[in-house]
Chain A
Amino acid sequence: MHVSTYFSLRPSSMLWYLLMILARLRDDMVSFIRLFIFRFPFSYFWEKSNNLVLYIHNATRDLTKIPKHISFIVMEDDVDVAALSEAIVWCIVLGISCISIADKQGLLSRHRHQLDRLVTSRLYELNLPAKAVVCQPLTDTVSSDTSGDVAISVVLLSPATGRQLLATAAVALATADATTESSSANSTMEIENHQEEIGYQGVSVEQLDNKLRELSGLTDADLAFRIGPTDSLFLPSPWHFRLTEFYQVSSQKALRPEVFVAGLRFYSRVDQRLGK
């Protein structure tokens, strides 16, 4: 029996749409079930606000490693400031010093003061020592020199600012004084339009790393919660997400303390071989 390889278009299109709907239903059901399973046994413990701190400390007591920089990458179209401010508070409770939030439309910088207010009031509610929390876009950290004064800095990223950071570093390194360059240069470049001999050996990865750290104050992200449709992602900064572990969360509404703790558990179990 000979089976035709050419199926007519219409059934295939309908099947494709059907599969899209089924996949979406499956994702929604899985996240609903997860929420239900997580919520019910723990609802007593963390509904009361002053037990949130206890919950997070108890749940993370046995973890072998805690990330130093946590990033939240929001792939949804709108930004839930309340949910994100709550997530910042969990990081502060845990003692994470570097927090970054990124959203794909770059809307967060408009809500920075609201984020500041919500985080500060929540910390007050939880009777935690008042710390200076500043939420600022990356462009502000690049142009300011006083990043060392702030106890906790939350950096707000958007797709364009990460890329622009590298371009800024490129210009800064290119226009740096030639005498500060490495003196062991043995490669000279003759460029067609210009006859001058240049002792410029180019930029090494370490030099670029130092310059970016100097400009942005950001360290490498260890753990990133990608919030939104499954598998969708953008990198808030091309440099700082080299070895970041990605943990999928279905939506900003699904961001709950137990999901946060699940992400931390996941991170502490991972064994990074670093190429070996």
Chain B
Amino acid sequence: LQQSQPLPTAGPSPGPAEPPQDTSQDSAAIPEDEWIRTGAQYTAMQRLSMTMLGQGPLLNHLAIIMDGNRRFARCHGLQKSQGHLRGFQKVGEVLEWCRDLGINEVTVYAFSIENFNRSAEEVAGLLRLARQKFDRLLQELDRLRAYGVCVRVLGNLQLLPADLRAAAARVMQATSSHSKARLNVCFAYTSRDDMAHAVSLAGQAVRSGLLLPDDVTPRLLDRCARTYLSPGPPDLLIRTSGETRLSDFLLWQTQFTCVHFVNAMWPDFSVWHLMWAVFNYQRNYATMQSGLAALAAEEADDDDETQSDPQRHQRLQAFDKFVHDQEDAELRRYLAAET
């Protein structure tokens, strides 16, 4: 059953129904290499399931730990690099499914700081692949603009080689004004590093007098974590390859998140896996919401004080600007260092 019309999406559609003119410079790239794809073909059962999922609570933010590329390669007799390539290709496919399911924000765990412990050859191969993919992302800027996708690269970028840092900075700056959908690529990221970074920023602000020590609350740390621009924490976290741990990914942000473990390897992840995960999120929605409400009630003092104390409000505004300026300065440094 061939169908070229777009699906009815549950929430506000992240972009126009028709794909924009493809002015991609690299016409020799195969469709599997694209980040932003169109024209996915769904079976009737899949379309029915997607429409059915639209009846339940909507999913806003999805986080994915894309594990199992090397085991996939081993099972299929491929090289490890082939496994990683297939993993990257799967990302484009899944982003399209997310768009069709109305998921506006996706955070993926592409490369952990712990992965630097792998063999030098594998790390070099992964960084080379990443450079190609970031360049490819820059070539698809018009599609990113059309769909309003803001791409952020989260992580300790100082650990990456200069050219990769500059490519990441370029992507972030080029898409910073987009606001319909968000794609966060966690590269050279661990959650502990994220939390240490947030604590450092808060510490700098306190030592310089920008903030009082009483201002440092969990809500403030939300405002200086690497995900500070995200409208909300992850609603659903999926980990592939059957492992049942979080491996230092978004630990601060996953306070009440539906955590779904899938046995399939990442390149074998299918739209059915995704839909079953979303369905499990919908089943747990009431539980999660009551927990979030209890947490918000306990931390509500923070907001109450901000409302009643205009000086504190000003301090927090100044701190937000400080965090933003820090990141801008860092990105400018990376871009300048390359030239």
Q: B-contacting residues of A (Cβ < 8 Å)?
A: 3, 5-7, 9, 12-13, 15-16, 19-20, 23-24, 75, 77, 104-106, 158-160, 163-164, 166-167, 169-171, 173-175, 178, 189, 191-194, 196, 198, 200, 202-205, 207-209, 228-235, 238-239, 241-247, 270, 272, 274-276
Contact = CB atoms under 8 A, between A and B. Distances in A.
A245 B242 CA distance: 11
B112 interface: yes
B217 interface: yes
A193 B44 contact: no
Nearest to B276: A23
Interface residues of B, number: 80
A204 B52 contact: no
B52 A242 contact: no
A219 B283 CA distance: 33
Nearest to A244: B245
B216 A16 contact: no
B3 A242 contact: no
Given A104-B291, A208-B196, A233 B221 contact: no
Given A166-B195, A246-B259, A198 B208 contact: yes
A231 B294 contact: no
Given A20-B283, A106-B294, A205-B192, A3 B3 contact: yes
A245 B239 CA distance: 13
Contacts of B193: 205
B174 interface: no
Interface in B186-228: 190-193, 195-210, 213, 216-218, 220-221
A77 B287 CA distance: 8
B56 A275 contact: no
Contact of A242 (B8, B48, B251): B251
A105 B218 contact: no
Contacts of B288: 232
B76 interface: no
Nearest to B298: A160
B135 interface: no
Contacts of B281: 231
Contacts of B207: 174, 178, 198, 200
B287 A229 contact: yes
B247 A170 contact: no
B206 A171 contact: yes
A197 B10 CA distance: 52
B218 A163 contact: yes
A232 B259 CA distance: 6
15 contacts: A105-B291, A106-B298, A158-B298, A159-B256, A171-B206, A174-B202, A191-B210, A202-B201, A231-B280, A232-B288, A233-B259, A239-B192, A242-B246, A272-B245, A275-B114
A245 B202 CA distance: 31
Given A189-B204, A202-B204, 8 more contacts: A19-B52, A193-B209, A198-B204, A200-B204, A202-B196, A235-B251, A241-B251, A275-B118
Given A12-B52, A233-B259, A170 B208 contact: no
Interface string B63-78: 0000000000000000
B283 to A, nearest CB: 6
Contacts of B115: 275-276
Contacts of B190: 205
B17 interface: no
A238 B136 CA distance: 35
Contacts of B258: 231-233
Nearest to A165: B218
A233 B233 CA distance: 14
Given A75-B287, A159-B294, A200-B204, A234 B256 contact: yes
B82 interface: no
Nearest to B239: A246
B7 A239 contact: no
Contact of A191 (B3, B197, B204, B217): B204
A112 B257 CA distance: 27
Contact of B246 (A23, A104, A173, A241): A241
